[in-house]
Amino acid sequence: MTVVLAVLGVLLLAVACWVLRGVLLIRKAKRLEAEIATLNARTEAAEADEQARKAAAVVALGFVAEADLDTDHPAPVPAERRTVLEAARSGDWEAAAAYVEAAGQDWQERLERVRPLAEAAAEDDAWLLAWRAARPTDPTAALVNADTSVMVAWNVRGSQSGRRTTQEQFRLFRQLLTKAEADAHEAQRLAAPADPCPYVVEQAIAMGLGYSHERYWELWEQITERAPRVLWSHVAGLQYWCAKWRGSHDLAMEYARASAAAGKPGDLLTLLPLMAYFERETHEAGLLPETYYKEPEIVAAVDAALADLAAAGDAHPGTPRMRHMLAYLLFWQDRDAEAVEQFRHVDGHIGAVPWTYAGEPKRRYLYARDWAVNVTAADA
């Protein structure tokens, strides 16, 4: 009996020691976890401080602070446009009509003026309805109406991928696009024979409704027979030919190169290959921008776009969009000084591709801008 009790005592002591050792190890592990958490917090705080320091240094060099970045527009809104939009919203459709008609046969500028009016009418179309009632055969009113119908449809669909869009959204989207198609055809009937704009408006409808390639080419011929080098029409066409819509990477690139080849210096159609490369990099997860954009053909495409931009100057309505894309690609090509030059022109207004393709456009923009600025400042 004594032996049994002794053995039990030894076993109990061993168990107690094991439990105690476990408790001590748990306490030690908790202390280590706390120390690691403290170190991580200090590291994160140091990194945040360093990031804030670098951001402040960039702002000190004349660049816009994060809080002041405009994510809605690619460039400052002209004062005349702001005045016209305010007048239209208050019911003065005649100001809107005069504003669009003042563009004359500068088709790119006409489209640039129609779109903000359509965006305003998509929110409240009372002034547009009054315009159409007063001038039922006015081609300008019909054009704004068609583009408004397109905007309403796309607002319903939203900007999310197909997997994140509900079946009800898709149903309403197609229903509204069918109405927009009829409105576009009406605008085409009323338009002057040389006016490509109502056909350009139909491009977004073709993409959404899924026109066949043959039907799309027929629409494209209607546009290019009237105006072969309108930047907006080429950009809209690229979206149709992208893999995410009705084409493929190869078709998009073929289209983009044909557009660039058709342009004259200053038309900015060299933007199209840059956008095609960007669309592919965005679509294919395996492509690394830090290596992909350094491929010789993309470097050559950027150089061609820089020459085209120099010929266009700041008068072309597409210049801000070209500068945004160039800033992004030059950054990835480690051409930081050239990137900073573009950033200086567009800084403050980042409502453009490539920044708008990110869930956090400010974060994408600041990462590229601040890096390029800091590298350039260090090399100076």
Question: What is the DSSP annotation of 228-246?
Answer: TT-HHHHHHHHHHHSTTTT
Structure tokens at 17: 């020691």
CA distance 281 to 332: 12
What's the CA gap between 111 and 274, in Å, rounded? 22
Strands (E), the chain: none
Percent of all residues in the chain with a pLDDT value above 90, rounded to a whole number: 77
Per-residue model confidence (pLDDT) at position 82: 97
- Kindly state the average pLDDT of the residues 189-204: 98
State yes or no: pLDDT of 35 exceeds 70: no
Given a cut of 70, whether residue 39 has pLDDT beyond it is no
CA distance 82 to 88: 10
Residues 6+ apart with CB under 8 A from 218: none
In this predicted structure, the answer to whether residue 232 has a pLDDT above a threshold of 70 is yes
pLDDT above 60 for 310: yes
Query: For 174-180, which contacts have Cβ atoms below 8 Å and span 24 or more sequence positions?
Result: 174/208, 174/209, 176/149, 176/152, 177/150, 177/153, 177/205, 177/208, 177/209, 178/209, 179/149, 179/153, 180/146, 180/149, 180/150, 180/152, 180/153, 180/205
The answer on pLDDT for 168 being more than 90 is no
pLDDT at residue 44, rounded to an integer: 60
Higher-scoring residue by pLDDT: 29, 284: 284
At 379, the pLDDT band (50, 70, 90 cuts) reads: confident
- Those residues with Cβ within 8 angstroms of residue 373's Cβ, 6 or more apart along the chain or in another chain: 58, 61, 63, 336, 340, 343
Instruction: Please state, in angstroms and as integers, the Cα–Cα distance from residue 347 to each residue in 225, 319, 320, 353, 366, following that order.
Output: 37, 13, 10, 14, 10
Please give the Cα distance from 56 to 59 (Å, whole number). Answer: 5
Q: Amino acid identity of 158?
A: G
Give the other-Cβ count within 10 Å of 37's Cβ.
10
What pLDDT does residue 31 have?
74
What is residue 163's predicted lDDT score, i.e. its pLDDT?
Answer: 63
Interatomic CA distance for residues 233 and 225, integer angstroms:
12
* Terminal-to-terminal C-alpha distance of the chain: 90
Asked whether the predicted pLDDT for residue 48 surpasses 60, the reply is: no
**Percent over 70 (pLDDT), the chain:** 85
Q: What is the pLDDT of residues 238-278, one digit of tens each?
A: 999 999 999 999 999 999 999 999 999 999 999 999 999 99
pLDDT one-digit tens code per residue, 68-126:
999 999 999 999 999 999 999 999 999 999 999 999 999 999 999 999 999 999 999 99
316-350 pLDDT, tens digit each:
999 999 999 999 999 999 999 999 999 999 999 99
Quick check: 42 pLDDT over 80?
no
pLDDT of residue 19: 60
pLDDT in the model for residue 26: 74
Residue 181 has pLDDT above 80, yes or no: yes
Q: Could you check whether the bond before residue 354 is cis, i.e. omega within 30 degrees of 0?
A: yes
pLDDT single digits (tens) 122-141: 999 999 999 999 999 999 99
pLDDT of residue 297: 98
Which H or E run contains 287?
Answer: none
Classified as helix, coil or strand, 101 is: helix
Q: How far apart are CA 170 and CA 227, in angstroms?
A: 33
Lowest mean pLDDT among 15-24, 54-63, 66-75, 279-288: 15-24
Looking at the predicted structure, is the pLDDT value of residue 12 above 70?
no
pLDDT at position 57 is 86
Burial 305-321 (b: 16+ CB within 10 A, else e): bbebbeebeeebbbbbb
Whether 333 and 372 have beta carbons less than 8 Å apart is answered as no
Q: What is the pLDDT of residue 218?
A: 98
d(CA 244, CA 281) in angstroms, rounded, equals 12
Q: pLDDT: is 292 or 286 the higher one?
A: 292
